[in-house]
């Protein structure tokens, strides 16, 4: 099993505050890696650095051996890392289908002027994207809502739509930021199934999540961050029994 993403000696400082420091981490091809830690541990910052929204202060990020440190977010998206956002970040005024359609931005192959003049080949391409978007929505269980405005979806469906859009970019690596937050147990169960199926399609998944039960249930491996540093990494069972992790979550007194 090769490594798809490698983070070496990564640091991100905001003024005097180190959101991440000296972080080394690897993500294996085809796994589901859980990223957990108390609030403010630097999990989302790590996502922002990997996906190119912030340049790191120090360190390196490599994707399949290629250095992607400091690239712009849209360039990183082109290389195959896609992400979702913590809050429901969607194109609220557009329909569900249009939202997913926007995810094909990088997939066009016809020439630009042909697209502007709506040549037959450009139309074929659009039709193909439409079909694929519907396939993705079918797969994610949103097909019946494809004409609805994103703003009108219930919260759980909005999260699912966020992931559908990320899938439309044909990612190799998918970063999910708290995909289950605010979901009821049934929706959470459903989401676990979806993430597994996404992985089975050959997409590596890294997810930040606070729902411990879901994380333990879903992830192949788990990494724990605290104060911007990795304090543990391993199988779910090992993490659950790791005293340092328990301490980080419950405080020193919790370990008594």
Give 72 or 240: the residue with its C-beta nearer to another protein.
72
By the rule CB under 8 A, 108 interacts with another protein: yes
Is-contact 158 66, C-beta < 8 A? no
Map residue 118 onto helix, strand or coil.
Answer: coil
Where do runs of H (alpha helix) occur along the chain? 43-50, 73-79, 96-102, 112-116, 120-140, 155-168, 185-200, 212-218, 236-241, 243-250
Is-contact 204 212, C-beta < 8 A? no
Give 105 or 237: the residue with its C-beta nearer to another protein.
105
By the rule CB under 8 A, 139 interacts with another protein: no
In the list 165, 174, 215, 232, the residue contacting another protein (rule: CB under 8 A) is 165
Q: Give the span between the Cα atoms of 155 and 47, in whole angstroms.
A: 22
Read out DSSP for 170-238?
A: --SEEEEESTTTT--HHHHHHHHHHHHHHHHTT-EEEEE-S-HHHHHHH-SEEEEEETTEEEEEE-HHH
Distance in Å, CB of 102 to another protein, minimum:
5
Stretch of 104-112, 137-145, 198-206, 226-234 contacting another protein, by CB under 8 A: 104-112
By the rule CB under 8 A, 168 interacts with another protein: yes
Give the C-alpha distances (Å, rounded to integers) separating 77 from 63, 96, 106, 121, 184: 12, 21, 9, 25, 31
In the list 85, 140, 159, 204, the residue contacting another protein (rule: CB under 8 A) is 85
Give 73 or 216: the residue with its C-beta nearer to another protein.
73
Build a one-symbol-per-residue string for 22-51: x at contacts with another protein by CB under 8 A, - elsewhere: -----------------------------x
In the list 21, 86, 94, 146, the residue contacting another protein (rule: CB under 8 A) is 94
Q: Give the span between the Cα atoms of 41 and 80, in whole angstroms.
A: 26
Distance in Å, CB of 150 to another protein, minimum:
9
User: Exposed (0-12), middle (13-18) or buried (19+): which is 255, by Cβ within 10 Å?
Assistant: exposed
In the list 28, 91, 139, 227, the residue contacting another protein (rule: CB under 8 A) is 91
By the rule CB under 8 A, 231 interacts with another protein: no
Stretch of 1-9, 36-44, 83-91, 236-244 contacting another protein, by CB under 8 A: 83-91
Tally of residues, the chain: 256
Distance in Å, CB of 175 to another protein, minimum:
9
Q: Which chain residues interact with another protein by CB under 8 A? A: 51-53, 72-74, 77-78, 82-83, 85, 89-94, 98, 101-103, 105-106, 108, 115-118, 122, 165-166, 168-169
């Amino acid at each position: 099993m090769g490594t798809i993403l490698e983070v070496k000696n990564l640091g991100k400082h905001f003024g005097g505050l180190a959101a991440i420091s000296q972080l080394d981490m690897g993500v294996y091809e085809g796994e589901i890696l859980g990223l957990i830690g108390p609030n403010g541990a630097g999990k989302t910052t790590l996502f922002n650095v990997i996906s190119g929204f912030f340049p790191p202060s120090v360190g390196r990020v490599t994707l399949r051996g290629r250095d992607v440190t400091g690239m712009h977010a849209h360039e990183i998206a082109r290389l195959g890392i896609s992400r979702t956002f913590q809050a429901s970040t969607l194109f609220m005024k557009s329909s569900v289908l249009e939202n997913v359609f926007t995810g094909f931005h990088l997939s066009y192959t016809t020439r630009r002027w042909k697209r502007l003049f709506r040549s037959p080949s450009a139309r074929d391409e659009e039709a193909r994207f439409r079909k694929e978007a519907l396939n993705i929505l079918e797969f994610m269980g949103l097909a019946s809502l494809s004409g609805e405005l994103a703003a009108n979806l219930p919260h759980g469906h909005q999260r699912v739509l966020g992931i559908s859009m990320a899938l439309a970019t044909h990612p190799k690596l998918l970063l999910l930021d708290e995909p289950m937050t605010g979901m009821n147990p049934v929706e959470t169960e459903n989401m676990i199934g979806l993430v597994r199926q996404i992985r089975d399609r050959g997409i590596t998944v890294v997810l930040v999540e606070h729902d411990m039960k879901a994380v333990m249930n879903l992830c192949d491996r788990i990494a724990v961050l605290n104060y911007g540093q990795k304090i543990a990494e391993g199988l779910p069972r090992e993490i659950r029994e790791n005293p340092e992790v328990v301490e980080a979550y419950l405080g020193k007194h919790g370990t008594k």
